[in-house]
Amino acid sequence: MDDFRKILILGLIVSIPAGLATVLLPLYLQELGISYTEMGLIFAIGPILGLILNYVVGTHSDKAGRRVYLIIGSIFFSVYFLILAFALNSWQFALASLFWSAYSAISGASATAYLCDIIPKNERGKLVGLYNGALGLATVIAMVGAGFLLTGLGYKTIFLACVVLGILAVLSSLKLNETLKPEAKSSAKMSDALEMHRIPKQIKFLFLLIFITNFACQTITAFGFPLYFKSLGADAFTIGILLGIMWLGPFVSELFLGKFADRINPTKLYLLSFLVIIPINIILIFVASPFVAAGLLFIQGAAFGLEGLVITRLMFESVGKSSGRDIAFASNAGYLAVIFGSLAGGLIMDYLGFQWIFISRISLFSICALLMVVASKKIFPQPSKK
């Protein structure tokens, strides 16, 4: 498990700056006078690049290997925070968004394929849960400390410290072993990217499901939660704590419940998660306390942790011979969702208010649940136990 340990260490290093930016960047943009709609555009422009890179890199990693792209992604990660440290207007933050999406696309596609290469089939729920949970806890710790650090250091100093962590990530990625077998490299072709008819139908369905779910989430997740808590009366220090509580939910559930995802029918587990998620969004329409909201979002996050494990398990079990391409195709739905979800979220926040965010999420999450009911019979039928 040396390969797993190394990719875990790399993930932990980048999780800390990611957690800090989740809390601080939206607040910083608002302090600079940037509107919700402009924020939506800033957070949407980068994923357009990510959409292209993710699929190309995912496919090419089947030939070039995973390690080289994890190194390149870590370099882009460092550049992103370097730009944030000196950016003052919308176009500069948009440039930073491009580098973040390049990092996310390159590293995300390669890291997922890397995990698919090294994790035994009977331990995927357990080890993916451990990986996501550990990274998530590191992210949460950074979120909780973000407000405290801001009062003592300021935005620029924090972002420059993140650059240093980015350099450590580059050094850590250099220590990774290549996991793709030589015979797999030789058989992979970039032309595989164009052969979408060879992508399994299960992967195409997961693309649709991921898009709808993430679109609903990104209407507020992309940049809105710090501003949502602020609208409920929380200050910067409290916002960091509330975000930490909220994001602790999915990571704790992945860390401690991941092993059960290997034992339970995945489609039933998916539907169970939405039986929790949808009622919580109904309640959030009427909540006025930031602490009550954070508690509800913690529970929702725990349910989303299980939903994410199900999607990962189904993805790993459904990929064809070109696993990097298939994983990149499915995960590209996330980039499309960020583009449209960020734009929609910014407009809804500016003209309708946060309550309408939750109303839209209820409708979209209900569609996801209905789609999985159909898919459980026609696309992901599970063998009956004798």
Rounded CA-CA distance 359/228 in Å is: 15
Structure tokens at 48: 């357009």
187, part of any domain:
no
Could you tell me if 102 and 48 are in contact, meaning their C-beta atoms sit under 8 angstroms apart?
Answer: no
373, part of any domain:
yes
Residue with tokens 């949808």: 278
CA distances from 209 to 78, 85, 259, 355 (A): 32, 36, 23, 24
188, part of any domain:
no
| Structural element, H or E, at residue 175 | none
23, part of any domain:
yes
Q: Can you give the pLDDT at residue 195?
A: 59
Q: How many CA atoms lie less than 13 Å away from 282 in the CB half-sphere? A: 9
Q: Residue 9: what are its φ and ψ, rounded to 5°? A: -60, -45
Q: How many CA atoms lie less than 13 Å away from 162 in the CB half-sphere? A: 32
CATH number at residue 298: 1.20.1250.20
- Containing domain of residue 302, as a range? 2-179+198-378
150, part of any domain:
yes
55, part of any domain:
yes
Q: Residue 176: what are its φ and ψ, rounded to 5°? A: -70, 145
**Spans of the chain below 70 pLDDT:** 1, 55, 58-64, 121-122, 124-125, 179-197, 221-223, 257-262, 320-324, 381-386
Q: Can you give the pLDDT at residue 63?
A: 67
Report pTM. 0.72
DSSP string, 196-250: GGGS-HHHHHHHHHHHHHHHHHHHHHTTHHHHHHHHTT--HHHHHHHHHHHHHHH
CA distances from 98 to 22, 81, 91, 93, 167 (A): 16, 12, 11, 9, 19
Q: Can you give the pLDDT at residue 386?
A: 45
Could you tell me if 66 and 114 are in contact, meaning their C-beta atoms sit under 8 angstroms apart?
Answer: yes
* Residue whose C-alpha is closest to residue 8's, from 115, 108, 126: 115
C-alpha of 359 from chain center: 22
185, part of any domain:
no
Rounded CA-CA distance 349/26 in Å is: 13
Our count of domains for the chain comes to: 1
43, part of any domain:
yes
